[in-house]
Structure 1
Amino acid sequence: MTKYPLPLTQLLLFLVTSSPANGVDLEDEFKNPPDAARPGVYWYFMDGNLDREAMTKDLESMKEAGIGNLIFLEVNVGVPRGPVDFMSEPWQDLFVHAVREAERLEIDITLGSGPGWSGSGGPWNRPENSMQHLVYSETDVSGPSTLDQVLPIPKQRTGPFHKTLDDWFEDVVVLAIPKSAPVIDDLDRKALYLRNPFSIWRGGESQAYVDPPIANGKGSTDAIPINRVVNLTDQMDKDGRLKWQVLNGDWTILRMARRITGSSSRPAPESGLGLECDKFDATALDHHYANYCGKLIERINRQAPSIRESEHGLTTLHIDSWEMGSQNWTDHFAKEFQNVCGYDPTLYLPAYAGRAVASEAIAERFLWDMRQVSQELILRNHAGHLKKLARRDGLTLSIEPYDMNPASDLDLGAVADVPMCEFWALGFYDTTYSCVEATSIAHVLGKPIVAAEAFTGRTQYREHPWSMKSMTDWAFCMGINRLVYHTFAHKPLGDDFRPGMTMGPYGTHWDRGQTFWPMVGDYHQYVSRCSHLLRQGTGVADILYLTPEGVPHIFRPPHTALDGTDVLADGRGFRFDGCSPKMLIERAEVRGKRIAFRNDEGGYGTEYRIMVLPLIESMTPKLLAKIESLIADGATVIGLPPRRSPSLVGFPHCDEEVKSLATKIWGGLDAPETTTSIAYGKGTLVWGGTSTTPLPSLNQGERTEKPTQYPDYASTATILDSFGLAEDFASDHPVRFIHRRDSQRDIYFVANQTSETIHPTMKFRTLANAGKAPMRWDPLTGETRPLVFTSHEDHTTIELTFAPRQSFFIVFAKTGADLPVASKTNLIRSETLDEVSGPWNVAFNPKWGGPDDVVFDALQDWTERPEPGIRYYSGIATYRNSFNYDPANQPSEKIYLDLGTVHDIARVRLNGEDLGVVWCAPWRVDLSSAVSPGSNRLEIEVANRWRNRLIGDRLPENAKMRTVQWDSGLLGGEPYKTGRYTFSTLLGQLRAKEPEPSGLLGPVRLVQDRELDGR
């Protein structure tokens, strides 16, 4: 049943990006960004703890704070089970209520593909329709003899992510092989029995076994001749009894069966626990979908019809980070394998048991093919099929393709309408690679939105907008343009119990229970401005890294392509993306000597000046033929010639085909001692020298933290420089950047990486001539102004003042109109006109333990006050004061109120006029509209974080000071003693002991900007 017409959904998805074609000026949209540019949140529900009124309050608070979308998931993490069972009739009614309220408030809901935060599992999934392994038992016999024996049932494999046990199994094949020891190393990963979470465990997961060793077709002493593999399947009855006249010699009988992997929904609500559906089988996904997503969509469509036609509400389905692990079998796997690879896999199946048929290299090639088929089935029958089901119901699809994915991250993410990544709050896991991958997918395929699960972690109320500013800008410079904050936990317990429900210890707590939530909208406005501008046109990058063909695969560029920072590494002057062989074969074209990819809408994404091949020795004939055609059509490619195929498909002719075509293109297989350019057709091939040294260790799946699949970035940059191409951006101070381009303008986002005021000289490859004059667009205020610049033959130089962590857009726009005249310099400093001194009247909220009226003779940190109610206060306090203003002392047009040091965020009112929120440097507001001659009434609201009150409530004297009883039925409705002021499900895990600096520390000054004659 279709919710919205499909063309409307597609239109909504792609209209949010390109340059305005509806008469709305981009500069106006920058000042007041559209709702589609608003950030989102993960809206987590905690195992049955749901409340109808609280849902509405959650959503209304999101709308008021500038949140425009959410991902809905229900989990079981760290709290007692609530009274509303997952997927019960009352639960579904509440879900429909949430959708209707989201429609009313114009908020978009994304529904996870299953209960929990990962996967598509549930109690409705039967073992035979769940993820499966091909497992085996071994029985040793000698002949000649007569065998009449029940073979042992193969045992189910278990592991840290495969814990669900089930007796179900189904026999697949019985093979007898000459007795031998397993010779295939690291079999669990090669045969897809195991796929570790790369974000946490690292190892060699990103690059193992993409390049099988050389196969010469000859048997080895450890290998099993293929004609000695005996298929006994028809000789075993349904009870497992095998009757066989054993041939001469020592034999091992492999009884091979399919069994569940044991992967289940996690961490799902109790009534949503169940097996993960088979990722190789579209029918299994149909069954899962009908019992979860489809059931909810049907309920939405028939219950409480929408009060009006809405473009909002439920709009998207979502596959979260791939944490289901891998599988290597399904009921129809052998048939699918033969369809894809063209040969019968049966006699090679001993490789699943570590035995090599024909030779170790042949077995490795078979396993390489098996992994390719596994990817094909995941893309076609799971991700691709889910996209079809979503389209049928008028929805789009987002995917986080990383972590335990047994396919290629780039190919899985490419299925999505919105590729998504993840980055953690500082101090936790580094998932930069996922951000590189999602951005690459979007740039290569011209997808307008790159989303990120943002600020995941265990921050324990540590984070606030200013502490997140630098990482926010880092995300934008990585190419992310939709932040989805992790996490907004549903607040079902009532407003008196704050900060309230959390998702266990996880997440940056980004919800209405936060102290600063009434002020966070100005930060979200900044994020929306940046997000909207960073969706215009296409990303600009010069380098395209082609990934190896083998899977599983995580794309990581050479570590030198980033700036070397251990966490939150930034790109260098030549930006890059990665693409998969599948993308290249199916979509790549040459446009004006650049490689571009046609997308499903008929357009193109980023166009690349060079493509860099991975440093491996194998490549399929199909991929090499595609590369040959691109070079012939005008592309420039850097890399070594392949020497063979990694696959058994067409073996051994495939190896000769690769070698012959490579020799034709490169002119030989031995690289020259120095870097050499070769003309081929209309294009260029570059190889040789130290930059393209082979890495034979990769043949064995080297475990290393430093990705070594590509030539060093410096050598690639040198090649680009030799072509006369300068870096896209450079600065003499630490400034990160990203660059996008549409038909009307070049848009650079630049951000100060430091906590100091800097005055960098920046070089932009975009020329400030031919009608393109640079403007500074300030995403904090929405203001735009012309810039002083210097034009050079191949770049534009701009000097600019940045406050700590400050960021700007530098927009080179084509314009026929006269631009405002720039001043003499872009460099400024603040000059103090006056200081607002004490005493200050400060009002704390007694509800949270503070005095409602206290005098501060001078500004000071709350934690230095003797009063416990101030030292341990968390929340909003209001400072009141007045100052006299003489306009004769103001030579410039604008006058600002500089707050000095603020912990952590403040709202300023002057003479009753709300002047906005101050949350980041330069820590000031424009007073020009509200200040008047004479006396002026100043009111500053300041919010800190919950940590101080949580610490205070943990002190023995404050423990168990009040009795709490939950009307919702939490904890069985029984009364219990709790802390005096706060309630948080995180409290028992809070590690902090000392309160954090808090309040307005100043100095509070009236300032104006003065131009600097020099630095």
Structure 2
Amino acid sequence: MANLFKEPPLSSKAGVYWYFGDGNLSKEGITKDLESMAKVGINHALFLEVNVGLPLGPVKMLSPEWKDMFAHMESESRRLDVQLILGTGPGWAGTGGPWVDVEKSMKHLIHTSVEIDANELPSIKLPIGEPKDRYYGTFHGSREQSQQRNDYFKDIAVLAYPLVAGTDQIEDIDEKALYDRPPHSSMYGVKQYIPMHANYENDEGSAIAVSSIIDLSDRLQPDGSISGTLPKGKWKIMRFVSRTTGAISSPAPVAGSGFETDKLDTVGISHHMDHFVGQLLKQINFKPRNEKSPYGGLTQLHFDSWEMGAQNWTENFRSEFLARRKYDPQPYYPVYAGAIVENREISERFLWDLRLTVQELIVEKYMGFMKKYAHERGLKLSIEPYDMTPLADMELGAVADIPSSEHWSIGYGFNTVFSIAQATSLAHLKGQPIVSSESFTALHDGWDLYPGRLKNQTDWALAAGINRFMFHTFQHQHLPDNLKPGATMGGIGVHWDRSQTWWEMGKAYHDYLARCSFLLQQGSHVADVLYLTPEGGPHVFRAPNSAYEEGIREASEAFYVNSSQELIRSSEVDFPALLPDKRGYAFDGCPPSLFYESKAENGRVVFPSGASYELLVLPATETITPRMLSKIKELINDGVTAVGLPPQKSPSLMDYPSADQEIASLVEDIWGDVSLIPSYEKRSVGKGFIIWGTEVAKNTENLYANYATTSAILASKGVKEDFTADGTIRYAHRNSGNYDIYFLSNRSGKPTNSICTFRVDGKIPELWDPMTGRVKDLKVFESADGMVKVPINLDSDESLFVVFRNSGTSTNVKGKNFPELNPIQVLDKPWKVSFDPNWGGPEQITFDHLIDWSQHQLDGVKYYSGCSTYHQSFNLKSKPRGSYFLDLGEVSVMATVKLNGKVVGTVWTSPWRLDISEFLKAGKNDLEIEVVNLWINRLIGDEYQEYDGVKNGRWPDWLTNGQPRPSKRYTFSTYAPYGKDTELHKSGLLGPVRILKSQ
């Protein structure tokens, strides 16, 4: 494992969202993109084509030329050992296209009504309800698709009932009936879940009796009239039709824009997969992969964030509902409109059953079909199960071979912390080694994000459980190489492509990530607490806020959208902190479908994967199904300790009211007499215990008992925290056979010296350095009572692994874990510095002292972007034994060091130093430091020149016609975030540059 840590396998390397702008493709650019990925340690590429940020190009999606380019892409990815991942449809979300007929699209059950006197029946004509708009606004398909949307409907039912006196309605009906599900990630105020109550207000005056409903469906005439008569009195007649939701593949290329497939049936998704994925597999003559296949090539399908909204109907929904819920839903169709049938509780229970049925159909008929389709072809399926999902996120993600999440760059987008907790929990429960994340997604990144700036957030994601970073975005560069920064997605995504100034130096960062990811892919996650998520959906799992250390709040904010679609800052709303780190007792969330696979062993909740937990925490919900409560009773009876409050009823109409009686019986078995609520009670149930009471109830956060409660319970059981430190250090812990692997990261923003305590018994700690791949003993530590204490020193944003693999206890060893480094020489003579004239810099210049380029008097330096080389010679009188380091002080933003003609390494974050022991010699030494900054300054400087770029959504004529460029600009980009008066970015080698020697 130590050898693989130093030179990680391809499976541990990072990936990118490889975006292509509608029709703008070139084989030469594809090859250069892939070669540049492989060169810097990126070996996974998710291919997506979108209509964002670029003018329309000439290569139409799925045309013969386009498919030939895809075949070239797949072939080149195999040659270069880059795994190619294919999105499941055009755009970045969903499965749709112009080949999807409106009949196979997502559906809503749309309702209209008329109120009449019985004698008016012959004269009325029932209107057809209009399609509903989605969260993202009005329909945005083509004119033909818009016509199809307006024309399509299918009659489902006509129901009549005596007019009731009251006007009460079920609140939030569009959300409860799944007409809409706004994004929980970005819109402030979207419910984490839809609560179910045990008791509701009495609405007898507004309720419709089921027995009073008359089915007029077979009496509906083509013109909307109703044949026959009705009994005397006033009636309300409701017409229910199926209409498309209007969801369109988004943001798809023009040639790939079309209706989203029905998510509740296999007909639409089967047709779509054959038409889109199937065509491409045929084009590349794809054969199922096996263990002997090369690493690269097409290996995986990917379903990205759910952004196509909700649906609540499909062709055979009534029969599916009846088979699953064991009762006919038709009498309850008025509840879709917010009407109250029988009473409010009955209606809410129907809506719960409606949402559960939708969830099951999506999991089985839609996502399950895609997984089967992939597996039959030797492919894996990754899923990013969050955002606008009309079902429980974790039930959606549980289908995946590789669960995925998303984290936005801090201050450049939205707070999606919850998605990481969901994806990592699923992987831990199922024993899946890979958890990927759409990484550092951004709004309005003006090339000002780079590895060093992202280091703290990188380590946060690693500690949270992410072990494959998929950077969003690597934009396909189809333009000539001299046109940089080149093509972009406008202000969407971090700029992580071969046009970056620091791209080749970025290999050092990618190597760091690969080493970290490799170790964090080993073995299984160590956690003590299991949070059971409620049944039904929609649901977003969020652990108690107190289960995390406080994260960033004010220094780096996120964005949200309020109900008026206005952008607001996270500091203005009550939302969880960014970058929260788990406390000493780690946790996972568990969806019901996986919970049923668990059993009790030695007092722990154990899963088939081997994942196990010391404490089960139940959600504080008023309702639960008998099946779920029976499973909970089984585990407790077999020895598990659980904490949680007793439920009161079933949430479903299934087996009503006998299900409620079964709940009451099970509650008595587990909690005892709930009429006498204790302050705090630990009640014996079989071999296990249930812990509950008012103290638990009042300390509930996000449905769960807070950290103080769960930690006290674990401590009382003799379970100590897995990791603690007297400094601000985050951690992750995995166990792999005889290995205990701890990842540590300094999150304080300043150097820290800490005593770290690990829950490891009888093993010796080693330091594994992910920057270099080196492994060394930690000489100073103390073992006692099943814990190991180790002094750890970390610089600002520094990280390391402490690995325990050999048996033993501490002895009186002389030395230090982290030797002191003292300066022996300061390199403060003038520096010879060379810039690239092709980017406006002087070919050679002398710096009498180190200076920020942006403060230099020469415009060629002041506005320079790219690489420059610093040169200085120095003498070392002698080279006594010991270790020597070159400390660069401050660098903006990265530097590669050569000493005596040999490459020492690249620095990209603190501490800005390299071990030069094997390169340093007595006498004269020649030092070269290649430094790179960001695109910002050159982009600002070019704003003083005439603009000659994209205008009115069209490429400039000089570029299209292959003519000389008319302006004197050095840069060319499809995104222009800067003006001439924008503040320049600090750049260059700022020092002081020193030689240090260890003591």
| Pairwise TM-score range, normalised by the shorter structure | over 0.9
Determine the structure 1 residue equivalent to 2:261: 277
Matches within 5 A, 1:487-886: 487-565=473-551, 566-585=577-596, 587-598=597-608, 604-670=609-675, 672-693=677-698, 708-767=702-761, 769=762, 772-787=763-778, 788-814=780-806, 823-886=814-877
Alignment of 1:29-68 (within 5 A): 29-68=4-43
Kept in 2, the 8 Å contact 1:182–1:353? The answer is: no
Report the alpha carbon displacement of residue 761 of structure 1 after superposing the two structures with TM.
Answer: 0.8
Residue 904 of structure 1 corresponds to 893
Residue 564 of structure 1, CA deviation: 2.8
Q: CA deviation at 1:69?
A: 0.4
Which residue of the other structure, out of 220, 223, 229, is the alignment partner of 2:207? 223
Displacement of 1:247: 2.2
- Name the residue aligned to 2:133: 158
Residue 280 to residue 976, structure 1, CA distance change in 2 (3 Å): farther
Q: Partner residue of 1:415?
A: 399
Question: Residue type of the partner of 1:66?
Answer: G
Alpha-carbon separation, structure 2, partners of 1:961 and 1:89: 30
Deviation for aligned residue 1:916: 1.2
Between the aligned partners of 2:653 and 2:321, the Cα distance in structure 1 is 12
TM-fit CA distance, 1:1009: 2.4
State the distance in 2 between where 1:775 and 1:819 align: 12
Question: What displacement does 1:959 show?
Answer: 4.7
Distance 2:979 2:708 in 1: 45
Looking at structure 2, the residues matched to 144 and 978 of structure 1 have their Cα atoms a distance apart, in angstroms, of: 79
Distance 2:600 2:277 in 1: 41
Q: Which residue does the alignment assign to 1:447?
A: 432
Equivalents in 1 of 2:52, 2:406: separation in Å? 20
CA distance 1:975–1:205, shift in 2 (3 Å): farther
Distance change (3 Å), C-alpha of 1:283 and 1:162: farther
Q: Secondary structure at the match of 2:790?
A: strand
Tell me, yes or no, if structure 1 residue 331 matches structure 2 residue 320: no
Q: In structure 1, what is the Cα distance between the partners aligned to 2:689 and 2:846?
A: 75
Contact 1:643–1:669, Cα closer than 8 Å, also in 2? no
Match of 2:250 in 1: 266
TM-superposed deviation, 1:146: 4.2
Superposition TM-score, scaled by structure 1 size:
0.91
Amino acid at match of 1:62: M
Q: Which secondary structure does the structure 2 equivalent of 1:748 belong to?
A: strand
Find the residue that maps to 2:264 and give its secondary structure: coil
Say whether residues 1:315 and 2:299 are aligned partners: yes
Q: Structure 1 residues 990 and 760 mapped into 2: Cα distance closer, same or farther (>3 Å)?
A: farther
- Provide Cα deviations, 1:49-87, integer angstroms capped at 9, x if missing partner: 001101000000000000010111000112110010111
Contact 1:161 1:324 in 2 (8 A): no
- Rounded to whole Å, the distance in 1 between the matches of 2:718 and 2:361 is 45
Q: Is 1:462 equivalent to 2:454 in the alignment?
A: no
Which structure 2 residue ranges, 5 or more long, are not aligned?
140-145, 552-576
Distance (whole Å) between structure 1 residues aligned to residue 810 and residue 782 of structure 2: 16
Which amino acid counterpart does residue 921 of structure 2 have in structure 1?
A: S
The alpha-carbon deviation at position 445 of structure 1 amounts to 1.4
Deviation at 1:984, TM superposition (A): 1.1
Determine if contact 2:168/2:203 at 8 Å carries over to the other structure: no
Pair 146,936 (structure 1): closer, same or farther in 2 beyond 3 Å: closer
Provide the residue aligned with 2:574 in structure 1: none
C-alpha distance in 2, partners of 1:992/1:402?
A: 40
Query: For 1:364-403, what aligned pairs fall within 5 Å after superposition?
Result: 364-403=348-387
The alpha-carbon deviation at position 958 of structure 1 amounts to 5.9
Contact 2:699 2:705 in 1 (8 A): no
Q: What is the CA–CA distance in structure 2 between the aligned matches of 1:711 and 1:58, rounded to whole Å?
A: 49
- Rounded to whole Å, the distance in 2 between the matches of 1:418 and 1:301 is 25
**What one-letter code is carried by the residue in structure 2 that aligns with 1:631?**
I
Offset at 1:178? 2.8
Residues 617-676 of structure 1 deviation map (CA, whole Å, 9 limit, x = unaligned): 111000000001111111111011111101000001111110111111111224643322
Look up the equivalent residue of 2:237 and give its one-letter code.
Answer: I
- 1:411-466 superposed Cα distances (whole Å, 9 cap, x missing partner): 11010000000001010211100001111111111111110000000221111111
- Aligned-pair distance for 1:145? 4.8
Rate the CA distance shift 1:355–1:977 in 2: closer, same or farther, 3 A: farther
Identify which of 109, 130, 134 aligns with 1:134: 109
Does the aligned pair in 2 maintain the 1:962–1:979 contact within 8 Å? no
Match of 2:554 in 1: none
The offset of 1:270, in angstroms, is: 0.9
Please show how residues 958-997 of structure 1 align to structure 2 within 5 Å.
Answer: 959=947, 977=966, 980-987=969-976, 993-997=982-986
Partner of 1:104: 79
Code of the residue aligned with 1:178 in structure 2: it is: P
Report the number of matched residues.
Answer: 957
In structure 2, do the counterparts of structure 1 residues 868 and 960 end up closer, same or farther at CA, with 3 Å as the change threshold? farther
Matched letter for residue 659 of structure 2: C
Alpha-carbon distance change, 144 to 76 in structure 1, aligned in 2, over 3 angstroms: same
Relative to the length of structure 2, the TM-score reads 0.93
Q: Distance in 2 between matches of 1:969 and 1:355?
A: 63
The residue matched to 1:691 in structure 2 has which SS? helix
Correspondence for 1:3:
none
In 2, are the aligned partners of 1:145 and 1:246 still within 8 Å (CA)? no
- Distance, in Å, in 2 between the alignment partners of 1:775 and 1:252 is 76
Shift of 1:821: 10
> What SS does the corresponding residue of 1:340 show, helix, strand or coil?
helix
Distance 1:954 1:110 in 2: 38
- What is the alpha-carbon distance in structure 1 between the residues aligned to residue 898 and residue 812 of structure 2? 33
Q: CA deviation at 1:212?
A: 3.6
Partner AA of 1:716 in structure 2 = T
Which residue of the partner structure matches residue 572 of structure 2? none
CA pair 931-136 structure 1, distance change in 2 beyond 3 A: same
1:82·1:970 contact (CA, 8 Å) conserved in 2? no
* Pairing 1:431–2:432 present: no
1:150: Cα distance to partner? Answer: 2.9
The equivalent of 1:286 in structure 2 is: 270
Task: Report the equivalent of 1:5.
Answer: none
**Contact conserved, 2:949 with 2:974, CA < 8 A, in 1?**
no
RMSD of aligned Cα (Å): 2.4
Please list the CA deviations of residues 324-352 of structure 1 after superposition, one character each: whole Å capped at 9, or x if unmatched.
11100000001000111000000011000
User: Is the Cα contact below 8 Å between 2:134 and 2:245 reproduced in 1?
Assistant: no
Asked if structure 2 preserves the Cα contact closer than 8 Å seen for 1:644 and 1:655, the reply is yes
Partner of 1:919: 908
State how far apart, in whole Å, the 2-side matches of 1:386 and 1:186 are: 32
Query: 1:984 corresponds to which letter in structure 2?
Result: S
1:726–1:794 Cα contact (<8 Å) kept? no
Q: Hey, what's the Cα distance between the residues in 2 that align with 1:280 and 1:912?
A: 64
Distance in 2, Cα, partners of 1:621 & 1:912: 73
Cα 1:822–1:189, aligned 2, differ >3 Å: closer, same or farther?
A: farther
Give identity over the alignment, percent: 43
1:358 aligns with 342
Q: Tell me how far 1:580 sits from its aligned partner.
A: 1.3
